[in-house]
Amino acid sequence: MELAQIGIKAGLVVIIFAISLVMAMYSTYAERKVAAFLQDRVGPNRAGKWGILQPLADGGKMFMKEEIIPTRASGLLFIVGPALAIMTACIGSAVIPWGQKIVAGNTIIDLQVTDINVGILYIFGVVSLGVYGIMIGGWASNNKYSLLGAIRAASQNISYEISMGLSIIALLMVTGTLSLKEIAEQQHSWHWNVLYQPLGFLLFLVCAFAETNRSPFDLPECETELVGGYHTEYSSMKLGFYLFAEYINMFISSAVMATLYFGGYNYPGMSWMAGHMAVWMPHAAPVIVPLIGTAVLFAKIVLFIFFFMWVRWTIPRFRYDQLMDLGWKILIPLAITNIVLTGAWITVHDKFFK
Amino acid sequence: MNTLILISVLPILLLYLGLYKAKNALLPVTIIGLLAALGLVVAKWNTVAEPIYHGMMQFDRFAIAFSAITILSTILILMLSKDYFERISSHVAEYYAIILFSLAGIVVMVSYHNLTMLFIGIEIMSVSLYILAGIKKNDFASNEAALKYFLMGAFSTGFLLFGITLIYGATGSFDLDVIRDWALTHTSKTVDPMFYTGIMLMIVGLCFKVGAAPFHFWTPDVYEGSPTLITAFMSTVVKTAGFAAFLRLFSTCFASVSDFWMPTLMAITILTLCIGNITALYQQSFKRMLAFSSISHAGYLLFAIVALGVNSGNSVFIYATAYSVASIIAFAVLILVQQQSGNDNFESFNGLGKSNPFLAFVLTVAMLSLAGIPLTAGFIGKFFMFSAAVAKLQIWMVVIAVINAIISIFYYFRVIVAMYFRSADRTEMVIPGYFNVVLALSAIITIIIGIYPSVIANLI
Amino acid sequence: MTVSILLFLPLLAALILVFVKNEQAKYAALFFAVAELALSVYYLVNFVPDASVQFAIDASWIPQFGIYFSAGIDGINIIPVMLTTLLVPIIILTTFKHDQPRANAFYALMLFMQTGLLVVFTALDGFLFYVGWEAALIPIYFICALWGGENRIKVTLKFFIYTFAGSLFMLVALIYLYTQNPNKTFDIHELYGLTLSLKAQGWLFLAFFLAFAIKMPIFPFHTWQPDTYTEAPSGGTMMLSGIMLKMGIYGAIRWMIPIAPQGFNKFYPYAITLAVIGIVYASIIAFRQKDGKRLVAYSSIAHVGLIAAAIFAWNVNGNQGAMIQMLNHGINVVGLFFVWDIISRKMNTRDLNQLGGIAKNSPWFAVSFLIITLGTVALPLTNGFIGEFLLLNGVYYYNVRLAIVAGTTIILGGVYMLRMYKNVMQGPTNDLTITFTDITGSERVVMVIICALIIIIGIYPQPILHLSEAAVTELTATVNAKMSLLGSNFKP
Amino acid sequence: MEAQSSAINYLPIVIQMLVAVGFAVGTMFATHYLGPKRKTKDKLTPFESGVEVVGNARTPISIKYFLVAILFVLFDVEVIFMYPWAVNFREMGVEGLVEMFIFMATLLLGFIYILKKKALDWD
Amino acid sequence: MESFFNTVRVVPLNHYIMLSCILFSIGVIGVLIRRNAIVIFMSVELMLNAVNLLLAVFSVYRGDASGQVFVFFIMALAAAEVAIGLAIIVMIYRNTSSIDTNVLNKLKW
């Protein structure tokens, strides 16, 4: 790998970074708009047209606010917490394939930061790192609400990680690889995994909600019980980091779900499209076609994000024991059943229908 | 192999029995299951041993003999556990299950044919023991014993693993045969330094596990802190298994490079003997004395590995058998005495000879056996060890061992003196039937082996 | 008819005795002991006095170590065997007047010990020899520690540790011999045949010497003995002094010297010197003893020293003397200890100064005591004479000056024994000894037997000497041959 | 499995981490200097809904959370074992399937056990 | 720059060995000098992870999967140890409200 490719990669990294930040910012905006829509309100409409600049305003505000570090908090950890949260959120996107190879002249640009053969495990690692940020922050701020929130967050995340892993295993049995790139390739045109793994997808979806602490699993920050939850004591950009982290996680998990189950950048009739484009505009085609795929992927992501918000504003919050029971006593057995069924089905299928 | 499966399924069965409140079924089911396992082992005796499961395990005669003796000792110990665990807490089923789990680990330890299995066996055993050491939740000594045992055990596991890793790095395999061939083909010139470092680290790790000096310091505390029954288990079954694993590894793999690790092991042996004996002299508590004496017995057992030969397996087997049986007697009597007098000092044995002649007699037999007096199993064990060492012309080591044997008389006879020659007015204590069976059986075994060792002497 | 019956009858008897009630215990014990004696007499009658091993048993015991249960009677061990079977009933008889607590255990241990002793004397396999050695040790330990005097615990433990330590080194030596033996057995005759390096033989000799010297005991290793003899119950003391210390002498003749002749050749001057020093030392100490039992203990050290010296001189006369003196010393010392047992039982003291004038109103006792004393001081026509004569003769062959020094044992022995007799029996009776009543019943029987033996052997020792002559001559010759063959500087 | 990915494939991830760290740290400093600083005592006390602060926040909390943590560790590790199997599931065929089912059955036994032991009931 | 890439492409075996040796030593020292049970325990885990790293490296360099399988087992048993260890430590904490190993002096070392 030469310097040039390193440069390209670096550029890609920066772009994706920017995109995910922007997505996060605008999903805050979207959140409020969706909430307004579902509650038959107008929502933010002052900053810019339709309040389009609202996120910028919020961001600016975040920057300008006074940062408060309570005296009884343990200083360093208090800062490390949110930083860790945002960092783990940001590096998750490294292994997601955003599209096929772009062939510009003689340089091949791979629309993926890197294709490592353990992509899924990487995602898992990063996701489970995320809880550290919350845990450290909550513990460091030396506040009962924060501590409770953090602990809730921690045990909730770990509880749902198990079933998440189990649900993924069923998927791996189908795909037979851990590399997200290959998984995406396998789902050419309409062969999306969700068709083979409906139950698995549902499980994964629920777990994704829980992992991102989104409602109805947002007990760590449920204001009725814990004021602000783990970020009670935080202000200015540190608070901003936590919020950002949540939205970026939402974005990443949507991307993962789209890639794993909904074909990533694949869409029905993509080969038809590719063929016609090649005839139609032979020079631009190698650049355009992948970008269309990327657009499709982003469309899916946006849909998922919308789904997240939709659920948030429609479904009431769980009680904590219900949450745990769901995680342990329902999802895990379901996931194992799913594995068993998948295994049996594939074996039978390979034996007799091939 | 069926043995292993049976021993692994049995505890799960027990757990569920415990769930469904079948308290009284626990002990019988355990004993019957173990007897069945014993039968399965012995049934394998005349089958030719092949490495099974991709060379993971090998149930050769060595493995069978040691599995048998460990299972047997476990049965004896569990028979002592009647009404013992109930006094500690209500999770009786769990305790039986955990003991059996560790027994499963032990069976793996004595029959491994691959370092992976060695590690897994040791860990299954140890992890169970960490729990068992601390089952007296509110007894601080028990907690402390558990924590110390846990930290030291994990620490030693680290060394063991690093050793295994380096050996893997040098030889490229965990399989004992491959390692042996590698060691054979590489002379001390061409051999990889990683290999030697690996051996050293494994010695450290294993010595930690078997409680050999200078890695013994956790032993007395743990043995003293743990509940007596568990201590009995640790100092008999676990020690036996540890040495079986130790010997299996070194006699299979590292025999050809013995001139490298022999000096280290010799030093460790001598150190273990002396430290164990001399510290045992100064103990006031019978239990703690047994702990230290177990260290010194570890020293005697190390003789077999130092004087590695065709007979080493036999020697360790006989010595371990004799030692286990005798210790079981000692701990059984200790349990009874503790129940009566509340403490485990030598004084609490005073006058036992008058109040409970039978108890005193079997304990005397046990002590004589531990001290290595002829006509008891202990003497045969020592005889085997010494003759192996003398055959290797390590006479000076034997002389040191002999001196230690003489020292050991002092503390072993203390309890005999207390029982017979020091009078104290004590009421005769009632001995449960299970205890009588165990004590009588163990004493008979001890004497039979002592008089006619051929019954087990040429097994392996 | 092999020797095994002789060996296992007492063991069986011991097991039976455990279940006998305390009152009948002594009668049962006596019965079995006499039966054993009768049995041994049968062996004696059928014994052909030559160098061969007879009534041999040779059963495989621990095959993979080449260990055999091989025992037999020959000229070397016939006398110790007879001694054992003869003394045990006498000793049991001496204890009749005591009412021991837990008597059945006491006699069971005693008979168990008899088995051990017989095994030691008849064993022809090193391992068996060692096992018997320890098997004889355990019961005597318990006898002394259970029925002994005040500070018995310390003393007996000391005794046990001493002997056990010695025997362990002997074990190491035996194992070494086993490893050196090409066909890997402990068989004594093969061990005789081994050709070992001088160094090895030296070490072997020292290892054996430690064990046997402690047992006999020879001078620097004797410190356990007086205390133990004093503390032990009279029965135990008799077993110890009468029979057990013969294990050491016998072991020296049978095992130590023939197996390591060259080592012996290297060290025997020191050994003899130690023995002779022991004689003089013990005699001088015996002088100054107030406690009669202790005095006897020291006298026994002196006599045994003479026997040891004679053995280390290693010639036929000396060894024959040792043989017969084993028997005599056994009889005499048992008699003496019995005397002191009676006195201390009747007078509750053993202090020579408090006694005196007993002779007046107890003729039986006086006479028998006198005979025993004379036997001990080796007056002609008593058993002691012939033995000590042969012993001194043997030492004399080796070195005249040493013989003279050793000879003082007779003079000194005479002096302190007669002084003891005088202090106890003659002189005016004091208010304590006036209460002394003459011996009766079992005591009288014992005394008669002992005195009879003393006189008979003293007058006509020939048959006894004849028993061992051939074997001793051969053994001595072979060892001497080996030593000269090894080019040693050995004077005959 | 597919080709080993060498260390070089992880380089971009390092780059991304660097970027992330840079972003986080940079922003931290920025806000630190941008924001106003008007600290008062009340601001710096832990927020307990305006009530006076009671005791220390670092108090032992319900053992249940701890139990959940331990169970998570155990089960998650068991899940690790399934990944290689799942990926090579087709190669291993029926035999592998059966073995893994035995494995999962054992896991389930343990799972049912802890359920019966009420280790996961929150009340 | 090129050399850097080459190094990254194939890191020499010795680097890994050294690294894991260093990690292992850190763990050992931590166990020996720290007094807080949790920290000791973390040091032990560090030792185990050094071993894992080395195993993985060896198995990659030898193209032999068994090393990585071993890593799995180490992980599993380390997890079991974590469970037990934390349980024990919590038990101690509830009895003594301290996890400093210096309070564990009822039995002398």
Site from E45, E72, E91 to mutate, D interface, most D CB atoms within 10 angstroms: E72
* Average pLDDT for A190-218: 85
pLDDT, residue C221, reads 87
In a domain, A47, yes or no: no
User: For chain C, which chains pass the contact test of at least 3 CB pairs under 8 Å?
Assistant: B
Residue A29 CA to residue A49 CA, distance in Å, equals 13
Optimal mutation site among D81, D107, D111, D113, interface B, most CBs of chain B within 10 A:
D113
- Assess whether pLDDT exceeds 80 at residue A240: yes
Provide the pLDDT confidence category of residue E55 given band limits of 50, 70 and 90: very high
Higher pLDDT, D48 or A18: A18
Q: Is the pLDDT assigned to residue B189 strictly greater than 70?
A: no
Tokens of C90: 């006498």
- Give the helix/strand (H/E) hosting E103: none
Chain B closest-CA separation from residue C80 CA (Å):
23
State how far the Cα of A14 lies from the Cα of D19, in Å rounded to an integer: 8
Contact map slice: E 57-96 vs B, CB within 8 A: 58, 62, 64, 66-67, 69-70, 73-74, 77, 80-81, 84-85, 87-89, 91-92, 95-96
Q: Does the beta-carbon distance from A329 to D115 stay under 8 Å?
A: yes
What tens digit of pLDDT does each residue of A304-315 get? 988 888 888 888
Nearest to E79 among D6, D73, D84 (CB): D73
Percent over 70 (pLDDT), chain C: 98
What range defines the domain where residue C325 resides?
Answer: 260-492
D1: nearest CA partner in chain E? E65
Q: What is the pLDDT of residue B262?
A: 87
Segment among B359-363, B370-374, C34-38, C357-361 with least mean pLDDT = C357-361
In a domain, A193, yes or no: yes
Residue C89 inside a domain? The answer is: yes
Interface A-D: count of C-beta contacts within 8 A: 214
Model pLDDT, residue B240: 92
Nearest to E83 among D7, D73, D80 (CB): D73
pLDDT digits (tens, 9 = 90+) for C398-409: 888 888 888 877
Measured between CA atoms, how close is E8 to chain D, in angstroms? Answer: 6
Q: What is the pLDDT of residues D14-38, one digit of tens each?
A: 888 888 888 888 888 888 787 777 7
Query: Given this model, what pLDDT does residue A20 score?
Result: 86
Judged against a pLDDT cut of 90, whether residue A152 lies above it is answered with no
Q: Does D118 touch chain B (CB under 8 A)?
A: no
Q: Residue A37 domain-assigned? A: no
Shortest Cα–Cα distance, C135 to chain B (Å) = 7
Same domain? C270 vs C374: yes
DSSP C37-87: HHHHHHHHHH---SSS-EEEEEEEEEGGGTEEEEEEE-TTTHHHHHHHHHH
Would the CB atoms of B12 and D117 count as touching at under 8 Å?
A: no
pLDDT at B322: 92
Q: What's the whole-number mean pLDDT along residues B190-212?
A: 87
Both tokens of C185, joined, read: 């057995």
pLDDT at B87: 81
Both C264 and C210 in one domain: the answer is no
Per CB-CB distance under 8 Å, the chain B contacts of C131 are 374-375
| Residue A234 scores a pLDDT above 70 | yes
Same domain for C207 and C311?
no
Of residues C155 and E2, more confidently modeled: C155
Q: Is residue C167 part of a domain?
A: yes
pLDDT at E107 over 70: no
Beta-carbon count within 10 A of D36 CB: 10
What is the reported pLDDT for B283? 87
pLDDT band (50, 70, 90) for residue C377 = confident
Q: Do C347 and C488 have their domain in common? A: yes
Residue C125 CB coordination number (10 Å) = 23
Residues 371-430 of B with CB under 8 A from C: 373-375, 379, 383, 386-387, 390-391, 395, 398-399, 402, 405-406, 409-410, 413, 417, 420-422
Taking the C-alpha atoms of residue C321 and residue B119, their distance in angstroms, rounded to an integer, is 68
Top-confidence residue, C22 or B327: B327
CA nearest to E65, candidates E55, E54, E75:
E55
Q: Do B119 and E51 touch (CB under 8 A)?
A: no
User: Rg for chain E (alpha carbons), in Å?
Assistant: 18
Q: What is the pLDDT of residue B202?
A: 92
Helices (H), A39-143: 54-64, 75-91, 119-140
Mean pLDDT of A154-171: 87
- Per CB-CB distance under 8 Å, the chain D contacts of B12 are 106, 109
Segment C304-327 shows an average pLDDT of 88
Q: Considering only CB atoms, which residues of chain D are within 8 Å of chain E?
A: 4, 6-8, 11, 60, 63, 66, 69-70, 73-74, 76-78, 80-81, 84
* CB–CB contact B19 D109 (8 Å): no
User: Which chain B residues are closer than 8 Å to E64 by Cβ?
Assistant: 172-173
State the smallest CA–CA distance between residue B133 and chain D in angstroms: 20
pLDDT at C348: 82
- Are both C181 and C286 inside the same structural domain? no
Domain membership flag for residue C275: yes
Q: How far is A138 from chain D (nearest CA, A)?
A: 11
Confidence of residue B362 (pLDDT cuts 50, 70, 90): very high
A114: confidence class by pLDDT, cuts 50, 70, 90: confident
Among candidate residues C214, C230, C252, the one where a domain is terminated: C214
pLDDT at B160 over 90: yes
- Domain count within chain C: 2
- The reply to whether residue C157 touches residue B417, judged by beta carbons under 8 angstroms, is yes
The pLDDT value given to residue B324: 93
Number of Cβ within a 10 Å radius of residue C24: 13
Mean pLDDT value across residues E26-35: 88
Range(s) of the domain holding residue A241: 66-352
Residue C428 resides in a domain: yes
Asked whether residue C147 is assigned to any structural domain, the reply reads yes
Closest-CA residue of chain A to D80: A165
Interface predicted TM-score (ipTM) of this complex, two decimals? 0.85
What's the pLDDT at E105? 52
Q: What is the pLDDT of residues B367-409, one digit of tens each?
A: 999 998 888 999 999 888 888 888 887 788 888 888 998 889 8
pLDDT digits (tens, 9 = 90+) for B120-142: 999 999 999 999 888 888 888 88
Q: How many structural domains does chain A have?
A: 1
Asked if residue C266 and residue C169 are part of one domain, the reply reads no
In a domain, C235, yes or no: no
Strand partners, B112: B57
Q: Could you tell me if residue A224 is inside a domain?
A: yes
Does the pLDDT of residue C391 top 80, yes or no? yes
CA–chain centroid gap for A45, Å, is: 28
Contacts of B16 in chain D (CB under 8 A): 113
Helix (H, G, I), strand (E, B) or coil at A335: helix
Residue D123: predicted pLDDT: 67
Q: Is residue C356 part of a domain?
A: yes
Mean pLDDT value across chain C: 86
- The domain boundary, picked from C194, C214, C234, lies at C214
- Domain stop point among C214, C246, C276: C214
Shared domain for C357 and C473, answered yes or no, is yes
- Positive or negative, the CA dihedral A200, A203, A206, A212 is negative
Where residue A348 falls among pLDDT bands split at 50, 70, 90?
A: confident
Place of tokens 């992870």: E49
Alpha-carbon distance D109 to D75, whole Å? 12
**C201 and C264 both lie in a single domain:** no
* E60 contacts on D by Cβ (under 8 Å): 4
Q: Minimum mean pLDDT among B185-199, B315-329, C123-137, E31-45: which range? A: B185-199
User: Which pLDDT belongs to residue C485?
Assistant: 57
Q: Do B19 and D117 touch (CB under 8 A)?
A: yes
Taking CA atoms, C277 is separated from C270, C286, C416, in Å, by 10, 14, 18
Question: Among residues of chain D, what percentage have pLDDT more than 70?
Answer: 85
Q: For residues B274 and A161, give the distance between their C-alpha atoms in angstroms, rounded to a whole number.
A: 54
% residues pLDDT > 70 (chain A): 97
Contact list in B for residue C157 (CB cut-off 8 A) is 409-410, 413, 417
Asked if residue C197 and residue C277 are part of one domain, the reply reads no
What single letter denotes the amino acid at residue B398?
A: V
| Residue B1 contacts C, CB cutoff 8 Å | no
B421 → closest Cβ in C153, C172, C179? C153
Q: Which two tokens stand for residue B292?
A: 């230290």
Over residues B216-237, the mean pLDDT reads 88
Q: Which residues of D are less than 8 Å from B19 in CB distance? A: 113, 116-117
Per the CB < 8 A criterion, the answer to whether C372 and C339 are in contact is: yes
pLDDT above 80 for C311: yes
The whole-number pLDDT of residue C489 equals 46
Q: Is the confidence at residue B444, as pLDDT, over 90? A: yes
CA–CA dist A254, A300 (Å, integer)? 8
Residue B197 above 80 pLDDT? yes
Q: What pLDDT was estimated at residue E6?
A: 63
- Confirm or reject contact between B426 and chain E (CB < 8 A): no
**Arithmetic mean of pLDDT, A63-75:** 78
Under DSSP, the state recorded for B424 is -
Identify whether A54 is part of a domain: no
Residue D106: its chain B contacts at CB < 8 A?
A: 12
Interface size between B and D, measured as CB pairs under 8 A = 7
Contacts of A244 (CB under 8 A, 6+ apart): A21, A24, A86, A89
Count contacts between A and E (CB, < 8 Å). 4
